[in-house]
Amino acid sequence: MKRLQAASLITAIKTPYDDKGEICLTTYDALVAQQIAAGVDGIIVGGTTGEGHLLSWEEHIILIAHSVHKFGKDLIIVGNTGSNNTREAIKATINGFSVGMDAALQINPYYGRTSMVGVSEHFKQLLAIGPAFIYNVPGRTGQDITPDIIEPLSKHENFIGVKECAGNERIAYYEKQGIACWSGNDDESYVGRHNHGSHGVISVTSNIVPGLMRQLMDKDNLAETAKLNQQLQGLMQWLFCEPNPIAINTTLMMTGAVPKNFRLPYQALTLAQRQQGFELLKAIETKALVGDSLSLLDDSDFNYCI
């Protein structure tokens, strides 16, 4: 538990595809290797950014197992085994731990929403299986996991903490009570870490600039990193100009880090949106970017798979 709570930078790693829409493990391994080289502490496998919702459970568990086997000595491996179906989440979480993941990421039931009592019971069933981060993202689930739910759950031996997207005031409130929080909003994560006491960030932006995000989460040279945080605000905000992971997918294609293949229903950013991102990325040192080049790309460069 101490090792898990000490992780200040966890990347919600992208899942890349080949031209048939199948997971490209060669590219995936290259992405994760660059995360390790940059000093990232862990990865979320098959999260929202990793398009777990577009993977079959078989693909999902295989990817967790692969990550454990290949990178488990260097990184904390967190499997996104949550679901809005408690029975399904239980099965996936048991399978995730059976292949060696260190922790699970668990979300509250979305779409087919339940009562607050039901949300609490959902998490109790999952915490009984093994260590878990609880993920609060009201913008996606349509339901806020409020402190009256989190506070009792935080006493469970397998409760690690909260990936919190409800802002830094909520994070500060929890941290004062000894409840560990990781920011789910990259643009707020620096202030959350250094002004509000968060444990760190579970990041989308670190897919493309892991070393710079590492600097933001470290507690050294705060005057310099405050400037860096301001410089990165435009990029962080642009990465959410469309629902995640559309922009980070497009970005990693623009830098040549991954093949230009989408699984539907995702589509590349428009040319105008790519132009905005191109200018933001061009202002960052090439060596800080994941990928070997930077290009605007044409609409015809992208391939869409079912």
DSSP 219: S
H-state helical runs in 39-141? 57-71, 86-98, 116-127, 138-141
Span between the terminal Cα atoms of the chain, in Å: 39
Q: Give catalytic status of residue 135 as yes or no.
A: yes
E strand or H helix at 194, and its extent? helix 186-195
Residue among 233, 134, 244 at smallest CA distance from 181:
134
The single residue of 17, 163, 190, 260 carrying the catalytic annotation is 163
Q: Give catalytic status of residue 227 as yes or no.
A: no
Quick check: bond before 245 cis, omega within 30? yes
Residue among 248, 256, 250 at smallest CA distance from 291:
256
Residue pair 90/55 in contact (Cβ under 8 Å)? The answer is no
Beta strands in the chain (DSSP E): 9-12, 42-45, 76-80, 103-107, 132-136, 159-164, 181-183, 200-203, 261-263, 303-305
The single residue of 14, 17, 28, 135 carrying the catalytic annotation is 135
Active-site residues, by number, are 135, 163
